Structure 1
Amino acid sequence: MTALDEARAHLAKAREFLEAAELTNDLQLFNAAASNAVTSGINSKDAICLALTSRTRKSDNHAEAVAELKGAGRAGRDSSATLSRLLKLKSKSQYQAGSVSAAEAAKSIEWAARLLETAQAVTPS
């Protein structure tokens, strides 16, 4: 599989998880919505990096993911702050006892959608 094929595969996953985030948010399942938005954003990051640099790293270290995106040209640099904000909701939505609020879930979907737009813009069809 080429880097471009992988970018397209991550782009498809990013779309799917964003749709799941929107649906679960409509059901007021805010932790699930934010979790799905985070997964969408991570897949968008992978698509952006693969499309622009032909590589991406798989790391659980959020700072490394943001740095990788920041190093992927102007589009990556411009998107890195959005990814950073989105990743801050990962632990709260998935692991911590406290829950994501409706406002946080809505913001996470907005941020994931922004990352997806960038990924679509830089990934050739």
Structure 2
Amino acid sequence: MSALDEARAHLAKAREFLEAVELTNDLQLFNAAASNAVTSGINKDAICLALTGRTKKSDNHAEAVSELKGAGPVGRESSTTLSRLLKLKSKAQYQAAAVSAADSAKSVDWAGRLLAAAQSVAPD
């Protein structure tokens, strides 16, 4: 599979999770929406593969932000959005405190921005 084909596969996953984000947010399932938004955004691999031909697989999301930042102008612009999105991960998935409606709405926006950036560099 070429890097561009792999980027498009990651893009498809990001799109699927973004659809789940929108559905769960509409149902006021804010933790699930933010969690799905994070998963959609983590598919930053689409951007990295399309722009550099490679991506790193790591559970360290701070490294993912750095990798994205180093993937050219689109990656650099997207890295701030990914960083914001990742800050909701613990609250959405692990902490007792719930994600607010406002933070959930932000996560929808951020995941959408990342998807749009990925689509711009790895169009179908």
Place the TM-score, normalised by the shorter chain, in its bin. over 0.9
Who is 1:21 aligned against?
Answer: 21
| 1:110 is aligned to 2:109 | yes
Which amino acid is 1:74 matched to? P
CA distance in 2, matches of 1:112, 1:100: 16
Who is 1:76 aligned against?
Answer: 75
List alignment gaps of at least 5 residues for structure 2. Answer: none
Q: Deviations over 1:12-58 (max 9, x none)?
A: 01110000000000111000000001111111x11000000111112
Show the 5 A alignment for 1:1-125: 1-43=1-43, 45-125=44-124
TM-score by length of 1: 0.96
Report the secondary structure of 1:34's partner residue. Answer: helix
* Percentage of matched positions with identical amino acids: 82
CA distance in 2, matches of 1:113, 1:12: 13
CA RMSD in angstroms comes to: 0.8
TM-score by length of 2: 0.97
Deviation at 1:124, TM superposition (A): 3.8
Aligned pairs, how many? 124
